[in-house]
Amino acid sequence: MTPITKIVALFLTSAILWILITVPLWATAFPRSPLVIIGIAPGLIIAVAAAITIGWVLAKTDAAHNKIVAALEERAQRDPLTGMLNKEAFITHLEVAFARAQRSEKPFRVLFVDVDRFKDINDFHGHRFGDAALVAIAARLRSVLRSADIAARYGGDEFTIIVEPDEGDTLDAITARISRAFETPVDIDHNGLRESFPVTVSTGFSRYSDETTSVDALIEEADERMYDAKKRNRKTVSHPGAAGMTPRAFHGGRPVRSALMMASLLRQPCPGAATRPPSYSALDWSL
């Protein structure tokens, strides 16, 4: 029984008690007189009216309270910058998916998506620009995911996704969509201006199986695969069994303008350059 129901029941009980007490008294004082009804009617009407009024007010208050609580709970599960689920909420969803998979043996995947050279973006353009970039990257990522996919900002420049592939949309198709989504620059709103900025991501994933022992094991494997992709060749996807395989790059080298924007051009000293005519060369370091 809710507090509101208890209060309304209390007032209705009071009205019944009022009748039980006052009727005998008025009947004794005024036997066979209509004054008995007149005597008990005001109290009864007041009690019932008070019960209805208080119940209505408390119902409105309770609804508003529940709405505020729901909003606070929702906010507690969201990353304040990107609006995606936060790490804690992601772990909760992952535990639910893990328990469901143990019952139904329906496999699922955990994807870790990391923004390449994000530290360079922060160092070269500032943290406010980096925050704006994360907002744009999160929006681009959400645009290629299905409604059933559960995406979160795991921390920093790492995003995580729970995926349950089906026959119409395989994991390869999903990871390919993610990679293709960043073939074109993302639009970053910063200081009242919109700038197109080149961004690439590296992705690693793990899959649930009968041998999976825990949620932590899935997270650790996906995280390791993601870093494996970054070490071997950025802009790639690393998956279980990929060790020793040639990385699959989803798009080629960046143009010089992209390198300038990403602050990834380095000056390389050349011994003996003072005795030779000046010249320039461009090297692609995929580290």
Torsion of CA 258, 259, 262, 266, to 10 degrees: -170
268 located within any domain: no
100 located within any domain: yes
| Predicted local confidence at residue 40, as pLDDT | 61
Is 79 annotated in the active site? Answer: no
The helix-helix angle for 87-104 and 215-232 (nearest 10°) equals 110
Which of 116, 149, 157, 223 is an active site residue?
157
Q: Which two tokens stand for residue 92?
A: 């909760």
| Predicted local confidence at residue 35, as pLDDT | 57
Q: What is the per-residue pLDDT across 126-144, written as a single tens digit (0 to 9) for each?
A: 999 999 999 999 999 999 9
64 located within any domain: yes
Does 133 lie in the same domain as 40?
no
What's the rounded Cα separation, in Å, for the pair 234 and 183? 13
Residue type, 256: V
Does 106 lie in the same domain as 168?
yes
Task: State phi, psi for 203 to the nearest 5 degrees.
Answer: -130, 140
Does 93 lie in the same domain as 8?
no
186 located within any domain: yes
What's the rounded Cα separation, in Å, for the pair 156 and 159? 8
* Residue numbers of the domain that contains 105: 87-261
| Predicted local confidence at residue 125, as pLDDT | 87
Q: How many degrees, rounded to 5, is the angle at CA 188 between CA 90 and CA 190?
A: 110
Return averaged pLDDT per consecutive 10 residues of the chain, 287 residues in all.
Answer: 64 70 67 61 68 73 75 81 95 94 87 92 90 95 92 95 79 86 90 87 90 92 90 60 40 44 51 54 45
206 located within any domain: yes
Does 176 lie in the same domain as 133?
yes
Does 104 lie in the same domain as 64?
no
Does 145 lie in the same domain as 68?
no
Does 30 lie in the same domain as 164?
no
Does 188 lie in the same domain as 48?
no
Question: Using an 8 Å Cβ cutoff, are 181 and 251 in contact?
Answer: no
Q: Where are the alpha helices (DSSP H) in 3-78?
A: 3-29, 35-76
| Predicted local confidence at residue 78, as pLDDT | 92
How many domains, the chain?
2
